[in-house]
Structure 1
């Protein structure tokens, strides 16, 4: 007999706590786009989008999101952090069109005594007054217990006194933050377990920070102990070391706690991760679980060989779950199995002796710290085997790049496509952008679509030599397929153009 799964609410706070990442500031348009994606595609239950009273830009962003949310039936899923400040935050919420306030209050006696310099009874009375006013104005209230983790460690009697008060208040959720990210999993299990047992009728959310890299582990224990909701951020963004990351936490809940379920769509996690990376400028580490560039890439030849024979290095954490695919890296640790897998993907089969020669060349390139992409394989084969494996049907024959102060960069381009020659001129925000704009004009005449550029990486050797070779690796997307091309030159723009010519021949 199957047991009904316990539903867990997912509240994403990328647009509030995540934006507290040092150096990150989303524009109102970016905030609206992320909010829409989180609610309609990722399908989180709630989003926390801002702090009240922060800035005019924050106010404009909240108004834009609440207007869209109201028109689309999501307004009760949009939350704003507010403060114990009489009617100030409440009035701000009403003007912004928001309906759910997350009231920030003190969850430890230490914070209450030294920051607010107040007695518990005074704080509770002020909190109760704000809640009463908010409810009178038609707002829904949740309450944060800031520094709750230290409150449980050092002033548990105060925490219980406060929760005794809150259970008599018209609040929907009580939110338990590990504000400084100091808890270990066993403490999370003990503290939340004790609270849930003592207050079974209160909906508790757990809000984990990641200062000791324990955010995901603490989320796991918090849910097992009875928390009904968790707070997460895309890419683990947030103050200091950030918050528990959305993608990792969802994968852990789905794989290790079968008795619970969420509404989150796993296949949308990678897309929102890349969007937030672009808007924030906060680069995802390549080894970031689930969403990092390398996490579904096998590098060692022995692993690729095991995958071929019986999927020996596969686990439940399959890339297809997240809209991704397994890749096999090419470098000095590559074995024949890695290279065979890549060759199969581009439709090339080599004899055993030829495969050995190509493998040896790739290992040599790896020893020189050169990056080899799948798109480089035909060129390596052509070079190593002295064959005509590569036929350049598209040739960038000539170009003039101009860059002047207070004038937009421009490019004049001459290109041959299967013997037909085209010339175009265009401007852009940079020389390479101008080159791509000219190229788009050519391919518009050919009525052919160019791939979208999704990533652009430049590697320049340290040491300050102006004539050093620069390596540009560009990631392209066409018809849901991602591929990389590489260019090498002492000039960064020229190396990008060489990488682009390889792409043109591939398509």
Structure 2
């Protein structure tokens, strides 16, 4: 790619992204994210506002001990206060102490913010911008100027808004970043205004910073690039205040794969999905399964017609190869499925099954019957494999349930409730009856512990299994307390995870079904792993 197609990516997940409601990053969290962004080839990583809080100060100092490989870490701050001297501002001294080569400085572009927010006059605002940038330049720093509320300011008073940019340019800013801070602009407005700025201030590098309040942050950023912007600011997964920032996980593949801009290396682009999920894990927010490009469902195919077509040629229902951005194709099994879905899963599970085999259609009919009753196999592939093996006579009965009881005792304190649960279970294994009792911090936990306690004597591998997630869904809310319940249980052996499902009008019965199938599938998995090891 030629140099005129180069787009400089600027990530602000650690600063703007962390302003999202519900996100609180520790120092260790920030370091992990920074190093992953560095590995992915992001050239500019905004680390935070030194001096605003102790954590950000520690972050910049810690990076001196664990330096990034290629990215420039950037400190962030505002212009000096009205009628002050930049060289005497303690806030700016803290920014310099962070020791970064690059500093991103934001200033006011909207006259409303100058008079109402800063409560000063328009000429003093220009002096604040110029004085602060000149001071940083005198200290050997390179400056990116974020023109806050740029688009609203330009719409309200274009002449003054342009003057603020000219002040920043004359003072030595190397980039002028146009910010749609309130996130209310539309792509056609962004495109036109960027073109007008390019005409008013030629020979300057422009950037774009968009928010998603109108749902157009990504589209606005693309429009800006198409109009001459060469720096794009955004966050991983679009995290940010209110409705979020431009989502780099959507922007990067659109710019690079669709439009041919040079953002990062192709090999680094394959880390995009991993990076998205890693960051969501670190910030403790569930990944958006339906996110473009990187979502778990982004390349999932459910309808039988779609599956049959995709298996012949993926281009029929995919706009690009999922491997380019590190994602993968998934065939979903559900009541919308056809024989192609069943055959796909048979191959995935290592089961020999031909389309002409009557069992294939029997499995499909069983699937649709159960999903009509409330089962959901697209989220519980382990249960579907067990269903297939049962239909093919490949499912071994490991034990028989003779019965179980669960007793819950609730203690009410002044401020909260505390509950203990006791489960008793009786099972038969190889002709022997086993009776076990176990406690838990809830009925499902106690039941799970009792089952494991009874079975671990015959199947010691169970000791490695544990529940990692438990979800309950009421299927027919109009039935009140008699409503049917679906339970999804995710289990793990420390290396792999699998999900099983149970459905019943009794939540404990539904939980029992899901827990037991989770144990059974774990044993099946361990058996297949042993077989593979033996073969090797």
TM category, shorter: 0.7 to 0.9
Q: Name the TM-score, length of structure 1 as normaliser.
A: 0.82
**Which consecutive residues of structure 1, in runs of 5 or more, have no partner in the other structure?**
none
Distance in 2 (CA, whole Å) between partners of 1:62 and 1:334 is 54
Cα drift, residue 298 of structure 1: 0.5
Count of residues in correspondence between the two structures:
496
Q: Does 1:39 align with 2:34?
A: no
Distance in 1 (CA, whole Å) between partners of 2:173 and 2:493 is 47
Q: Is the Cα–Cα contact under 8 Å of residues 222 and 255 in structure 2 kept in the other structure?
A: yes
Cα drift, residue 200 of structure 1: 3.5
What are the within-5 Å matches in structure 2 for residues 90-239 of structure 1?
90-239=92-241
Cα drift, residue 82 of structure 1: 0.9
Q: What's the CA shift string for 1:63-98, capped at 9, x where partnerless?
A: 235422554246972223212234132122245455
- Seen in structure 2, the aligned counterparts of structure 1 residues 51 and 263 have a Cα distance that, compared at 3 Å, is farther
Distance in 2 (CA, whole Å) between partners of 1:252 and 1:65 is 32
SS state of the match for residue 465, structure 1? helix
- Seen in structure 2, the aligned counterparts of structure 1 residues 354 and 426 have a Cα distance that, compared at 3 Å, is closer
Structure 1 range deviating more: 243-252 or 462-471:
462-471
In structure 1, the residue matched to 2:274 is 271
Distance in 1 (CA, whole Å) between partners of 2:370 and 2:242 is 39
What are the within-5 Å matches in structure 2 for residues 313-328 of structure 1?
313-328=316-331
Task: State which structure, 1 or 2, has the greater radius of gyration over its C-alpha atoms.
Answer: 2
In structure 2, the residue matched to 1:68 is 63
In structure 1, the residue matched to 2:528 is none
In structure 1, the residue matched to 2:347 is 344
Q: Is the Cα–Cα contact under 8 Å of residues 432 and 496 in structure 1 kept in the other structure?
A: no
Q: Is the Cα–Cα contact under 8 Å of residues 489 and 515 in structure 2 kept in the other structure?
A: no
What are the within-5 Å matches in structure 2 for residues 278-317 of structure 1?
278-311=281-314, 313-317=316-320
**What RMSD, in angstroms, separates the aligned Cα atoms of the two structures?**
4.1
Cα drift, residue 144 of structure 1: 1.2
In structure 2, the residue matched to 1:471 is 487
Cα drift, residue 315 of structure 1: 3.2
Q: Is the Cα–Cα contact under 8 Å of residues 47 and 59 in structure 2 kept in the other structure?
A: no
Distance in 2 (CA, whole Å) between partners of 1:187 and 1:452 is 54
SS state of the match for residue 171, structure 2? coil
- Seen in structure 2, the aligned counterparts of structure 1 residues 446 and 82 have a Cα distance that, compared at 3 Å, is same
Cα drift, residue 459 of structure 1: 3.0
The runs of 4+ residues in structure 1 deviating greater than 6 Å are: 393-419, 424-436, 445-455
Cα drift, residue 178 of structure 1: 0.8
In structure 1, the residue matched to 2:9 is 10
Cα drift, residue 137 of structure 1: 4.0
Distance in 2 (CA, whole Å) between partners of 1:3 and 1:129 is 37
- Seen in structure 2, the aligned counterparts of structure 1 residues 233 and 457 have a Cα distance that, compared at 3 Å, is farther
In structure 1, the residue matched to 2:531 is none
Structure 1 range deviating more: 485-494 or 18-27:
485-494
In structure 1, the residue matched to 2:245 is 243
